[in-house]
Amino acid sequence: MLQNKEGSQVPQVTFRTRKDNEWLDVTTDDLFKGKKVIVFALPGAFTPTCSTTHLPRYNELAPVFVENGVDDIVCLSVNDGFVMNAWQEDQHAENITFIPDGNGDFSEGMGMLVGKDDLGFGKRSWRYSMLVNDGVVEKMFIEPEKPGDPFEVSDADTILDYINPNAVQPARISMFTKPGCPHCTRAKKALQDKGYKYEVIELGHNGLSYSSLAAVSGQGTTPQVFVDGERIGGADELEAWLGAK
Ligand code: BEZ
């Protein structure tokens, strides 16, 4: 039975991290003392749900968390420091602090260390998130004890809603591009100039072709820009949309 630790101190642990090709010990106090910190813990670096959903959304919402008084966002997994650093680089998750709980000491102290032997994973962290205030757990969102790997409550949006239900969220912008497309360069610059972050889906990679672009947008030219699921159009339409903001 997983225990809710709201009101308790987080476990005192020394994490062995890697920085600039050296060992760097990071303690619980280094991470939490005098700070408001979000921790989200997950079963493993590079695993599908963690890489496509759990981590990216925390990274995306990091500036919103900061605007709402959060000092740091920690991603914790029972992996070693080399793996955690490689995952951070792969994910371009520069807004998140990656903490390797390789021996599982922190996860065990939180009562969240579970056996995933069926997957050949050994002992790992159960998926959860928490808000920690000066080393004390203020709020926890623990995934329900169901078989498999439930992902229902430890997501970034749920904890943001707890911290501030009225928090203003950034627009989700995606842009279909192709290499060497000058209008794509113009569209990217227009977004950057206005401080918008965006995700690029580049044709010609990962098996993506104009067929995918046509299937999603009904169009045959790049760029095609989508904001919060709505198609804005090419560079001219994007500039008009930005001008009207
Ligand atoms: C996943 O993130 O999808 C995952 C996590 C643990 C085991 C298998 C998959």
Q: Tokens 């070693």 belong to which residue? A: 80
| Model pLDDT, residue 136 | 98
CATH class of the domain defined by 14-163 = alpha beta
- Delimit the domains of the chain by residue range: 14-163, 173-243
pLDDT given at position 1: 83
Domain 173-243 has CATH 3.40.30.10: yes
> Using one digit for the tens of pLDDT, what is the confidence trace for 130-172?
999 999 999 999 999 999 999 999 999 999 999 999 999 889 9
Q: How far is the CA of 47 from the centre of ligand 1 (A)?
A: 5
Q: What is the pLDDT of residue 101?
A: 98
Tell me the best of 77, 149, 152, 155 to mutate to test the pocket of ligand 1, counting ligand atoms within 8 Å of each CB and taking the most.
149
Residue numbers annotated as active site: 50
pLDDT in tens, 52-69: 999 999 999 999 999 999
Which residue intervals of the chain are DSSP H helices? 28-32, 48-49, 55-67, 81-91, 105-109, 156-163, 182-193, 210-217, 235-243
CB-based burial, 182-215: b 16+ in 10 Å, e otherwise = ebbebbbebbeeeebebeebebeeeeeeeeebee
Ligand 1 nearest-atom number relative to CA 50: 2
pTM: 0.88
Ligand 1 pocket check: which of 42, 50, 55, 78 to mutate, most ligand atoms within 8 Å of Cβ?
50
Same fold, 14-163 and 173-243: yes
Atom 9 of ligand 1, nearest CA residue: 47
